Structure formats: C-alpha cells, structure tokens
Chains A and B, each alone.
Chain A
C-alpha cells in the first residue's frame, strides 16, 4: 500500500461551525422561500421545523467536534444543504410529506450522531466482516420473503412489519459497502494475482474470480426477483469499482463491464418492463407516444425542467406537482423547475463536493480498509446520484432510486446519514491518536 499523499489538515472547528451555520441558513431560507412562493407567507410551521433543523444540525456539529474533531469540515454541511433543499422542495409539494420528512431528518441526524458516537474508529467495523456482510445480504433480500415483503410501484423493495414500512435495501447498501471494504482489504492481494489472460487482459485465477461472479449473480437476483433495476445496477457498479480500486487491476473493470452488458442484454430480453424503460428513455418526447402511460411522467419531468429554464420559476412558484413521484424519484426535476439550471447545477456541484471530499478522505486514510470504505461510500453516493439524475434527465434509462439526502423517504435519509457519518469518521482518521505518516 502506498503512503498517504494527501496530508490531513489541522482540525478547523471554526470552518466546520461556519459551514454548518451557512447550511442551516440555506436550508431554512429555502424552506421559508418555498412557503412565501407558494402561499405568500412565512410557513406557520417555521418554529417547529426551524428548531428541528437548528437543533439537529447543532447536535451533529457538536458530535463531530466532540467525537471526530479532525473530520473534514465540509462533509456534513454539504449533505446538510442537500437535505435542507430536499426538505424545502418536499414541503413545497406537500405539507404532509414535509412533516414526515422532518421526522426522518431528526431520526437521520440522530443516527448520524449515534454512528459517530459508537464507531469511534472505522477500523472497529473491520472486525465484523462476515457479520456485517450477512446482515447486509439479509436486509437486501428481506422483501423477497412472503408476509413481510411489499411490492410498491412494481418493485419488491419494501418491508412492512406492523405499522412500520421501510426499504431495508437502503441500509443494506451501506452494510454491503462496509463488508466489501473489509473483505477486499483482506483478499486484495489474492485478487491481484494474474495468472492467465486473454490478449491484453490479465486475469486472476478462476477461484479468485468467484466473488465477482457471485456479486454479479446477486445483482441479477435483485434484478430478477425484486425487479429493481436501479439497485441492481448500483450494487454491481459499487462492487466492480471497489474491486478495481482494491486490486488495481483494470481487468476487473473490463470483466465487470462485460458482465454488466450481458446482464443488461439478458434483462432486456427477459423483461417487458426493462424494454419499456428503454423505449421510454428513447422516445419520452415522441409525439406519437408522449401521451402513453410511462412516457408521460418522464416527459413531464422534461417539461418541468424546461419550464425552469436558466433561473427557475422560484421556490413555490412552479408546478412540480404535475410530475408524478415528484417528491421521490423526480425531486431533481422539481428542483430544476423552481431553481432552474443554476439550481440543478448547484445541487450537482454539492454532490460533487460531497463525493470529492469523500474520495479525499479515502486518500488521506492511512489504512487500506479506511481507504476502501471511503471510496466505496463515495462511489455509492456518486453512482446513485448519477443513476437517478441521469434517469430523470434522460442520459440513461430511468431506474427508480432515491436522490441521496434530498428525496422524500425515511429509509433512504437515515441510511445516507449513517453513510455520511462513516465518511466523516474516515475523514477524521483513526482515533484516538492521529498517526502522522510521511509520504
């Protein structure tokens, strides 16, 4: 393993506090503007939601300062701004959803603090490789089991136990990244050895290829059994990227790409809904099809973003509710309509900052597990953002995943805050004594 080339900066508590205050101002500002834009008045819920955000952000900032003082000062505030903008957009769409989302923000921030509190050193997690891996797989596959699984919008992603419904795959995603980071750190030397090869491709022995094939099979299972295209794509992408980063062997990218192509072709042949997704992607605005079911919602998203134009209609001033699933899959289109291209570009920039800071934490991490963990978590955020934003903007066929931190949804928000806490933890370096390593 090479030595860290990225020096960790000195703790900058002042910057962290300033960023957090800025994030709070932006979050509450957007929410108040949405209320003014929609109803012409400051929302009556200002005291309630204002205190949830103020107390929650303050608690998170305090926890970082107390338990991860040398963490990257920008990570949490960046996610906080995204959460705030997402909340303002949801509030603008539905007061009822906003009340639920505010609750989930509170729970998510609590989960964030708890994660930082309990995981004092990310290497703690390295000790439970298979427990975490197993738990991740179970959560991923939980909705398949009859009795607790629920099919919503064509995908079997939901679990309902009593009154509480959640998407276990969201938290499963985080656990699987942790598992992969741990597993690959241990096995990467083996997976690096290339014995055979086809042309320029240098391949490791077949037995070491097994994990790739297994992960591929697992993601195909997710696709076939749960009919969840987005998650399938996401898991496989995260896995291949982590494998490549861990081993440094580009061959895995090529093999992964080929397997993905085969899986995609197979899925396209096997499933009507996959074929429809592709056709909708290609012909969403085709006059002959634009009024058909499925095409219309993607077309409406395009219309919404087009209406927003460069500067947007203003928060609360557009009609993002014309787009189905505006608060979940299509929240990016709602932002595009009301904040314009400047708003969507800004949001993308925030994700880029988040991912960049995460990768920077990876580079700065002295240990391989930390590096791989931060890389995997950052990749998860980046790919998930690309899959949903790319889907909404017709770069790729639309597959329903949430936009991290912004979409309405408790499972997504809570698991992303846990993910964020782990990134913050890696960025803070090993506890309690920060070892300094030369380059």
Chain B
C-alpha cells in the first residue's frame, strides 16, 4: 500500500508538471500569438485603450488638437478633440468600431507609444507599473490661421489650405462640410455607429475633405501651370498671342469663349502677362494647343499632378489626393481637349492642397517643398524624440521663370481679376478660377495666391463649391479671393 501511495504521489506530481508546462506554454510561449488572434478583438481593444495616447498639438506646442482623457469605463482612456470639427481633416478620428484616420492613423506608432524611439520610456513605465504613454506630435497647424481660415470660409462648402512655401508646413487645412471626431471616438458603440451612419448617409460626404481628398476642375487657376509651361518652352511674359473673340476648337464646330463672352482688351494679339491678368480663356486655349499636351503634362506632373487619380504620390502626413492631368496619349484623338485642359477644364482636376503647392512652388523660386503636417515628436516627458526637416519635393520651374510668373500673378491682384485679394502694403500674387463642372451647375470659385510676393511666407488656395453664396454669379475673384486675403492677412499682420 505504501509503495502505491508513493507511486501515486509521483503520478499526481506528473499531472501537475504537465499543467505547469501547459500554463508556461500558454502564458509565455504563445502569449503573443494569442494576443493577435482575430477573436481576441475585445482584449486587443482594451490593451490599445490602456495606453495614454499622445497629444496632437498645434505648431505653438500648446494648443491641443487631440488629447487622451481618463475614462471611468472599461476602456481606460478616451480620445477628445477640444476644438470639435475644426481640425477633423487634420487629426482624423480614433474609433474602436471604425478604426483610425488621418494623423491618428499615420502617426499611430508614435501616439500609441509603439515606435522604437520610445522604448526606453515605455520600459521605464512598464517597470514602474505606470500606464503606457504615447508620444505627442507637434503639427505645423497654426491655431490662429486655422481659426481664421474656418472663419473666412464660414458656412460655404469648400476648402482652404494655407502653407509655408519655404518649408512645406501646412499652416491651415479646413473644409466644409466637416465632422466632429468626438462622437466617433467616444466609448459608446451606439453613439459611434449612429454618428458613422449619419455621416455616411449624408450626400455631402462630410468625412471627405474638400481641401485634400476630393478633386474638382481647377478652372483658370490652372493657367498658372500653363504659363509655367510656356515660360519653360521659351515664351516670355511679353510673348504675343492671338486674342480672337472666340477660339475655334479643332476637329469640331465648337468654340471656346472668354468668361462672360467678352473679348479680352488689348488688341488682336496680347501678351502672356495680359492674358493671365484678364484670365483670357480664348488666349490660353490657343497657348495650350500651341504648347501641346506633352508640354502641359510635363509641367503639371512637375507640380505634383498625376496622370490618373490612382497614380502619383506626393508624400503627405495624411492621405492626399494629388491633382490629375491626363496622360498625353489621352489627347491624341481629342485635340479640343488640349485647349479645354489649358483652362483647367475637361479631365484636369485638383484640390486646394494641390493648388497651394503650385502657388507655393512659384513663390518659393520654383522649388516645391514636400507638404507636411508634423514637424516634431515629443516623448511624454517633453523631450524631443524626432524632428522632421523640410524636404524638397521637386523643382517644377527655374528660379527666373518663377520670378517672371510671380510678377504676372501680382498684376492679377493689382489690376486683374483678383483685386479682391489686395492687402494694403503687401504685394500679393494670385490667380482666380471659376470652374464649370456640368450643365446647369453653379461654378466652383477658386483663388490661389501667395504673399508677400517677393519673399512669400504663406501660400493659400481656396475653393468655394457650387457657386457658394453667389450661385451662378459666383467667380473666383468675388467669392474665393476675399477668403484667401483674410487668411493671408491673419498670417502677415502678426
């Protein structure tokens, strides 16, 4: 009997050894694999929200665009956006039902404290039993300009982008309609789902940024790209171009006329500068045909445009839909399309961020800086972990040509279609656009600009959609130029 009891002790001991081996396997060896199991969503979520996610700050390092707040619920931290919908297209949302977007997504590694640079901090927190803290990111958003842009745009549908041409820093990025990321980032699944469904059911698509996601015909603002192409091909500002009443489009009986059906003043042949100042469609249609699709496309691509909406890649810190200028092959049997494209119609498309890049590159001596939203990452203790230096994206123009084009754009604001953007004591370079986008639709009003023209600190592009408050009477000069001026003034009057 005693022998059996001893054998039994050994046998039962073996059972316990098996159990210890198994818990070692589960809790140590395969813990990571278990954590990644698709059915483990709830725990993954809880783990994610255990992190004191880093803040998203404005350029001043003080204004908070997004922060984490202790929550009494099962999820420890809740994401809050103190300025509501103002920065929706910068920060994005942070939702446990629908994921993350924009900076919340693209800088998640830093915000969630997962980036390798943060390891020393993270390990210290772990040892001390503190909640894991993410790094804060400092954006280029200028809180005053962001407010100014939103105020200037008011309730009009459209978008405004302001950037610093010298660094590519995006100073303001607002669009209407917008959305408030707070309800999407709450901890109430019903509220999140309801908000999401409302936002997605809204025909105005408020989750899409008119400033950087959507594409619209750039209209006459595209003439600065065409002018750049003309300069690149040896035509100066004083080069003379035919100025008929209407342009007969090749291969068709259609004609192209100027805005309002008028004839541009200055005689039967006018200069390139005069054609820009008056924004003559007829002249630019002719310039486009003369330069040819190849030259236009090359210039547009140099400014960041891509052949289709699915190609191209101007790296930005949040998703950015670059402008579109069709591949030259598209124009082979569509010669009228070249003329239409030269005035920013047909299949040419852009958005305010794209046009702000074009304007900025012209103002910056022909050098286009990579647009960016994040300049710095700071560890939770305030130490700078990473600084992002400005990068050159491309050189779409020579410095000389950029100066020539700037001078022509100054004339637009001085005495042309863009006088509404004049700022006393400052030379402003600009270009208006009034883009048709369908029979019977009110036009989109555009304005792209930079100031001070001789050494620009800010480039601004504005679009007001569907006639804004002026309906069919809308023009870039009347509707969009004052908005751009307000933003530039806010930047320069400090």
Interface residues of A (CB under 8 A from B): 1-2, 4-5, 241, 244-246, 248, 285, 287, 290-291, 296, 299-300, 302-310, 314, 319, 322, 336, 340-341, 344-345, 348, 351-352, 355-356, 359, 362-363, 368, 371-372, 375, 378-379, 382, 386, 389-390, 393-395
Contact = CB atoms under 8 A, between A and B. Distances in A.
B23 A306 contact: no
Interface in B1-26: 1-6, 8-9, 12-13, 15-16, 18-20, 22-24, 26
B310 interface: no
Contacts of A310: 27-28
A375 B23 CA distance: 27
B38 A287 contact: yes
A382 B2 contact: no
A245 B38 contact: no
A309 B31 contact: yes
B35 A306 contact: yes
A389 B129 CA distance: 29
A386 B19 contact: yes
Contacts of A393: 19, 22-23, 26
A285 B38 CA distance: 9
B27 A336 contact: yes
B8 A5 contact: no
The 4 closest A-B pairs by CB, nearest first: A306-B34, A341-B27, A290-B39, A245-B4
B13 A352 contact: yes
A245 B1 contact: yes
- By DSSP majority rule, is chain B's interface helix, strand, loop, or mixed? helix
B50 to A, nearest CB: 9
Interface residues of B, number: 37
Interface of B: 1-6, 8-9, 12-13, 15-16, 18-20, 22-24, 26-28, 30-35, 37-40, 42-43, 46-47, 74, 129
Nearest to A241: B8
A55 to B, nearest CB: 33
A379 B1 contact: no
Given A309-B31, A336-B23, A299 B37 contact: yes
Contacts of A291: 39
B76 to A, nearest CB: 10
Contacts of B22: 390, 393-395
B408 to A, nearest CB: 63
A371 B37 CA distance: 48
Contacts, number: 132
A34 B26 CA distance: 23
Contact of A344 (B23, B30, B39, B43): B23
B16 A245 contact: no
Contacts of A378: 12
A379 B8 contact: yes
Given A314-B129, A341-B28, A382-B12, A395 B1 contact: no
A54 B24 CA distance: 34
B47 A307 contact: yes
B7 to A, nearest CB: 9
A319 B42 contact: yes
A322 B9 contact: no
B27 A344 contact: yes
B19 A302 contact: no
A379 B129 CA distance: 40
29 contacts: A1-B1, A241-B8, A244-B4, A248-B1, A291-B39, A299-B39, A300-B39, A302-B26, A303-B37, A303-B39, A306-B26, A306-B30, A306-B33, A306-B34, A307-B34, A307-B35, A319-B46, A341-B24, A348-B16, A348-B23, A359-B5, A359-B9, A359-B12, A368-B1, A371-B1, A371-B2, A372-B1, A386-B15, A394-B26
A324 B38 CA distance: 18
B428 to A, nearest CB: 58
B27 to A, nearest CB: 4
Contacts of A285: 34, 37, 39
Contacts of B34: 285, 302-303, 305-307
Contacts of A345: 20, 23-24
Given A307-B43, A307-B47, A341 B23 contact: yes
A291 to B, nearest CB: 6
Contacts of A300: 39
B37 A2 contact: no
A291 B37 CA distance: 11
Contact of A382 (B15, B39, B74): B15
A382 B16 CA distance: 9
Given A319-B42, A390-B19, A362 B5 contact: yes
A152 B74 CA distance: 29
Contacts of B35: 303, 306-307
A306 B18 CA distance: 18
A290 B12 contact: no
Contact of A356 (B9, B23, B26, B39): B9
Contacts of B16: 348, 351-352, 382, 386
A296 B31 CA distance: 17
A303 B45 CA distance: 13
B30 A363 contact: no
Contact of A348 (B20, B26, B38, B74): B20
Contacts of B37: 285, 287, 290, 299, 303
Contacts of A363: 2, 5-6
Nearest to B16: A352
Contacts of B9: 355-356, 359
Nearest to A284: B39
Nearest to A355: B12
Contacts of A248: 1, 3-4
A1 B4 CA distance: 12
A363 B8 CA distance: 11
Nearest to B42: A322
Contact of B40 (A244, A303, A352): A303
Contacts of B15: 382, 386, 390
A389 B24 CA distance: 13
A395 B18 contact: yes
A307 B47 CA distance: 9
A305 B2 contact: no
Contacts of B18: 390, 395
Contacts of A348: 16, 19-20, 23
A389 B19 contact: yes
Nearest to B11: A241
B38 A290 contact: yes
